[in-house]
Amino acid sequence: MKILVFNCGSSSIKFKLFEMPEEAVLAEGAIERVGSETASASLKTAHGKIEVKQSITDYPRGFAVIKGLLLDPENGALVNLSEVRACGHRVVHGGDEFSGSMRIDDLLEQGIEAVFELAPLHNPPNLTGIQQARLMFGAIPQVACFDTAFHQSIPEVAYRYAIPENLYTDYKIRRYGFHGMSHQFVARSAAKLLGKHKYSVNVITCHLGNGSSIAAIKDGHSIDTSMGLTPLEGLVMGTRSGDLDPGIIFYLHRKGHTIDSLDTLLNKKSGLLGISGSSNDVRDLEIKADGGDEKARLALDIFAYRIKKYIGGYMAILNRVDAIIFTGGIGENGVAMRSRILADMDQLGIIIDETRNAVHVGVIGEIQDTTSRVKVMVIPTNEELAIARDTYKMSRPDR
């Protein structure tokens, strides 16, 4: 059963074609810089690669290009679109209404649109992608997989903010959390590796990339996570500030900053970029720090320090921790950063083996010392596969 997974962003469309339930990847590709006269499109299959640059002014044109790539007679993956039996879609925000993946219909589309205000950069293109896929593929099942859904198990004590209740009831202001498909995927993978049932494992999952979040998972369920109403809260990120005193916003507003300029400042000009003044990329900053750049070193130290604080806090609420898991671009590949984060945690039972750490770059495995009471694991995430699995479960013929 061929399932096509879409991840539609504000200026990009990523897609991957799976054969399910075998979980074989038949094709993967992307449209970059949608809305530009110099957009690029790419596809990779077992037959070869296609890379083209052309004007892709909007999403309908982007989906037409995707159709052409998939049906390409030399390097495509399909002879006819009818071979695709279902589509899965990443949707960033499901509000508090959607607690799991769901089959898409007109009513669900309305539900996605209803929370546009909570994710104005993400949900609109997510919905546009859904609508284009429904037009392209007709009556086949379409499934929405929400980034926030995995965190719907968080208890009220963790998701409520200390603000008047009417702001929660009227405006739905609460912690939602993000990267849910990733946190769930690596937690389930860890359970298998540990020989435990998926609902008997306690882990701390660290999804570290340009956008970063951390989650406390008890008995297989998310019970707390660092991102909040929006993806701005929590860890220091590439260009996002993460946690800060909200009074800073009022202070800067009184100094002449507009609401829009503050939004841009905290989302696009802060984080590693803001501290270092030079880059939002950990790899670049490590090179600069090794060369004596003190601002780069400070940015790396603050990034690691915040993650360490969250790990300690989540150990306290979990009580028993089976493993700490690193995933995402930095988590999977950042050997030096993993060492920086877990240094001096031996009294908490966390001791990293530097040799094992060094060889686990983008590959699954354990990196703790033999004397460590808590396992430390590197597990590459695969959000597209997680979406494909949910889509298959909800679309298979025997359902």
Tens-binned pLDDT, residue by residue, of the chain (399 aa): 999 999 998 888 999 999 999 999 999 999 998 888 889 999 999 999 999 998 999 999 999 999 999 999 999 999 999 999 999 999 999 988 888 999 999 999 999 999 888 888 789 999 999 999 999 999 999 999 999 999 999 999 999 999 999 999 999 999 999 999 999 999 999 999 999 999 999 999 999 999 999 999 999 999 999 999 999 999 999 999 999 999 999 999 999 999 999 999 999 999 999 999 999 999 999 999 999 999 999 999 999 999 999 999 999 999 999 999 999 999 999 999 999 999 999 999 999 999 999 999 999 999 999 999 999 999 999 999 999 999 999 998 766
- Residue 184's Cβ-side half-sphere holds a number of Cα atoms within 13 Å equal to 24
Separation of alpha carbons 127 and 91, rounded Å: 8
Same domain, 346 and 282: yes
Separation of alpha carbons 180 and 217, rounded Å: 11
Which residue, 146, 163, 181, sits at the end of a domain? 146
For residue 323, what pLDDT is reported?
Answer: 98
List the alpha helices (DSSP H) in 43-122.
59-70, 106-114
Same domain, 217 and 349: yes
* Residue 251 CA to its chain's centroid (Å): 32
**168 domain residue, yes or no:** no
Are β-strands 323-327 and 375-378 bridged in parallel, bridged antiparallel, or unpaired? parallel
Separation of alpha carbons 273 and 237, rounded Å: 9
Separation of alpha carbons 132 and 125, rounded Å: 10
User: Tokens 């297989």 label which residue?
Assistant: 220
**183 domain residue, yes or no:** no
Same domain, 114 and 211: no
**CA nearest to 151, candidates 185, 114, 176, 188:** 176
For residue 118, what pLDDT is reported?
Answer: 84
**250 domain residue, yes or no:** yes
**361 domain residue, yes or no:** yes
> 52 - beta bridge partners?
41
Same domain, 205 and 350: yes
Same domain, 36 and 120: yes
Reading the block at residue 145, the tokens are: 């997989």
Same domain, 127 and 207: no
Q: Determine the 3-state secondary structure of 225 from DSSP.
A: strand
For residue 364, what pLDDT is reported?
Answer: 97
Apex CA 298: angle with CA 297 and CA 301, to 5°? 90
For residue 31, what pLDDT is reported?
Answer: 93
- In the chain, how many domains are there? 2
**153 domain residue, yes or no:** no
Other beta carbons less than 10 A from residue 121's beta carbon: 12
Same domain, 41 and 132: yes
Helix axes of 259-268 and 247-254: crossing angle, nearest 10 degrees: 130
**177 domain residue, yes or no:** no
Greatest distance between any 2 Cα atoms in the chain = 62
Q: Is 219 among the residues known to form the active site?
A: no
Same domain, 259 and 375: yes
For residue 103, what pLDDT is reported?
Answer: 95
Same domain, 207 and 347: yes
Which residue, 83, 112, 146, sits at the end of a domain? 146
**CA nearest to 61, candidates 34, 88, 40:** 34
- Options 96, 105, 147, 170, the catalytic residue: 147
Same domain, 119 and 210: no
Please report, to the nearest 10 degrees, the dihedral formed by the alpha carbons of residues 384, 386, 391, 392 taken in order: 110
Reading the block at residue 195, the tokens are: 């020989």
User: For residue 178, what are the contacts with CB-CB under 8 A and spacing of at least 6?
Assistant: 92, 93, 147, 148, 151, 211, 213, 225, 227, 231
Which residue, 81, 113, 146, sits at the end of a domain? 146
> 16 - beta bridge partners?
5, 28
Same domain, 202 and 132: no
**280 domain residue, yes or no:** yes
For residue 255, what pLDDT is reported?
Answer: 97
Range of the domain at 261: 197-383
CATH number (domain holding residue 203): 3.30.420.40
**181 domain residue, yes or no:** no
Same domain, 234 and 337: yes
For residue 262, what pLDDT is reported?
Answer: 97
Amino acid at 376: V
CB 99 within 8 A of CB 92: no
Apex CA 382: angle with CA 378 and CA 387, to 5°? 145
